Amino acid sequence: MRYKIAKVILSVNKELEFDYSIEKLKPKLFDLVLVDFRGKPQIGIVVAFSEKSEAKNIKPILKIFTEKPILTKEHFLFAKKLSNFYSYPLGVFLFMMLPDYIKKIKKKSFSIDIDNKKGKFDLKPIKIFIKRDNFIERYEVIKKYISKNLENGSVMICFPNISYLEYAKKIIEKDFNVPINIFYSRESKLQNFNTWLNSRKNSIILGTRMAIFYYPYDLQLLIIEDENNSCYFQEEKPYYNLLNVAFLLADLKKINLILSSDYPSLYTYKLIKENKIVLDEAEDKKEINVVGVSYSKEVLSPLFLDLVKKNISEGEKIALIFNKKGYAKIAKCLSCGYIVSCNRCSSFLNIYFEQNIGICPYCNSKIELPKMCPKCNSGYIKWIGFGIERFKIMLKRLFSDFKIVSIDENFKEVDIMLSTSKILNRFEYMNKFLGFVYDIDWFISKEDYEATFNAYLYIRKLANFFKKTYVFTHMPNYYVFEELLNWKNFYEKELSQRKEFKLPPYYSICKIILRGKTEHKVFEKINNLYNKFKDTLEIYGPFKDSPFKLRGNFRYFLIIKSKNPYMLHKIIKEEIFSIRSSNYKVALVIR
């Protein structure tokens, strides 16, 4: 059959297919082509052929960029699976597999040739979760899999952020002589394109979540490091979860998939229970002590102070963890009750004593703190609440003979080091320190069904840094503390409760966040969404998000619960995509 028409998806309009004549140039399926679209040259992908077209005045294809198609049938099938799962147009995902630099090129002299030879497998593909306390220990296991899979093709490792990626690269490059290519969003378009070109065959690829769409055709092994990290979810369009994408790709290509972390997500643990993933774990020898403290007006409990004094006198070093920045929580007028807050966000400020400033925790705006109330001009401003800066000052007064510093200072020769959860972003472990976790009740009290699970991971991750960990709480009999030394028992209890209350990983929950400059218009828009969904879905809201105002935008959200994630994505596509006004922005969190 002789085709006359090519169906082309354009980079400027990924939702529709456009017809172009192939009387002169004969492109192949999935070829990258140059076409005229509304008087401007545009890049397109040939996705189908036809004998005829219903359109009038069919324009010809101007250029075929490559002798061999850059994309393949496999890429097309992968994009189709993603489109079906996330309900985005096929073209959105096809163009995500091409570097942005390609989409900008309009010169007729441009061409590239890619070797799209698929790798080969000697064994049945595996799915495995490697559980170790830190990356160094996990890497000792992972590098054996990397060596084996490099014999037949490429290996890709995804990391939650750039600093983690760069830290890992220094370790990995010592063991392998093959090219190590890095993908991350801060690269220039030209750098990204060159990395893409150099990583098409027999290479190790390191990247953040976006790297998975640039996988080479000979990919043999895909690794998701720190798999329980929240950074793997893309909240802005197109919404996707890296873990879902990784499973879809591994199943399509029939390649090996390794997930690795100190602890699995509940979703992954459920798959381990169902024998869909193999668990590889080592013995856990961490010592964690739960210390019950009574409620008191005093911020630092007498028991805490006694333990500090006792351990320091015995030659120990202490790392105090308290996840509240600054000196105080709020700056409040004693006369009229006015609270100094951010002008762009409806948020209290982190109060810093030494600089006499307040810093917004969301937009980083700085405000010099007044002594008198700017509203009533009569009341004094008082700083209320406690942050880590105030803890430091109090400890220095109580223990004047001890050397006390913050984590950003030199803490090698100290008695007490103070840190927020920022310590979890560091890669050196402090095995000479005792960890004193003093903020766990704040984690547990959050209004979030994941609060307890996140609190558990927070304790366990912190415990990996120290030789011994003390957790101070007003609720020592709460179940999160009962199973600190038996993680599987805790996961079983958590899964049981999630199943009973129809929560993830048994049900999908979607948080739809709508933001805009005008409050009543944002509310009206999201309320219309609620009215569309209320008769067919389990939906709650609208609610004000926290903070309600963020960088000048007001935010409302809806919560939708469904047992069928495909249906959830389909409804989101049909209704959320209809919000195209520049006056509103949509973000999603899907669990």
Q: Which helix (H) or strand (E) holds 305?
A: helix 302-313
For the chain, the domains span 5-104, 127-281, 288-497, 508-590
DSSP-assigned states of every residue in 156-212: EEE-SSHHHHHHHHHHHTTT--S-EEEE-TTS-HHHHHHHHHHTSSS-EEEESGGGG
The DSSP code for 408 is: T
pLDDT of residue 377: 87
Nearest to 203 by CA among 153, 257, 148: 153
288-497 CATH fold: Rossmann fold (3.40.50)
pLDDT of residue 109: 47
Strands 366-368 vs 357-359: parallel, antiparallel or unpaired? antiparallel
Beta-ladder partners of 148: none
Q: How far apart are CA 330 and CA 417, in angstroms?
A: 25
Beta-ladder partners of 543: 557
**89 preceded by cis ω (within 30°)?**
no
| Amino acid residing at 117 | K
CATH no. for 5-104: 3.40.1440.60
Q: Which CATH superfamily is domain 127-281 in?
A: P-loop containing nucleotide triphosphate hydrolases (3.40.50.300)
pLDDT of residue 12: 73
Same fold across 127-281 and 508-590: no
Cβ neighbours of 376 (radius 10 Å): 12
Beta-ladder partners of 348: 341
pLDDT of residue 56: 84
Angle, vertex CA 211, rays to CA 79 and CA 176, nearest 5:
130
Nearest to 235 by CA among 557, 563, 7: 557
For the domain with range 508-590, which CATH number is right: 1.20.1250.20, 3.30.70.600, 3.30.420.40, 2.60.40.290? 3.30.70.600
Cβ neighbours of 336 (radius 10 Å): 12
pLDDT by residue for the chain (591 residues), tens only, comes to 577 899 999 877 677 889 999 988 999 999 999 999 988 888 899 999 998 888 888 999 998 887 788 899 999 999 999 988 887 788 889 999 999 888 776 654 455 656 666 656 556 899 999 999 999 999 999 999 999 999 999 999 999 999 999 999 999 999 998 889 999 888 888 899 999 988 988 999 999 999 999 999 999 999 999 999 989 988 777 888 999 999 999 999 999 999 999 999 999 999 999 999 999 999 877 899 999 988 777 778 899 999 999 999 999 999 999 999 999 989 999 899 999 999 899 989 999 988 999 999 999 999 999 888 988 987 788 999 889 999 999 999 999 999 999 888 876 788 999 999 888 887 776 788 999 999 999 889 888 889 999 999 999 999 988 999 999 999 999 989 999 989 999 999 999 999 999 999 999 898 889 999 999 999 999 999 899 888 888 999 999 998 999 999 999 999 999 888 777 777 776 666 667 666 788 877 777
pLDDT of residue 580: 60
Q: How far apart are CA 369 and CA 360, in angstroms?
A: 12
Cβ–Cβ < 8 Å for 18, 33: no
Residue where the block lists tokens 């069904």: 449
pLDDT of residue 113: 56
Cβ neighbours of 123 (radius 10 Å): 7
pLDDT of residue 577: 64
Cβ–Cβ < 8 Å for 66, 113: yes
| Amino acid residing at 160 | P
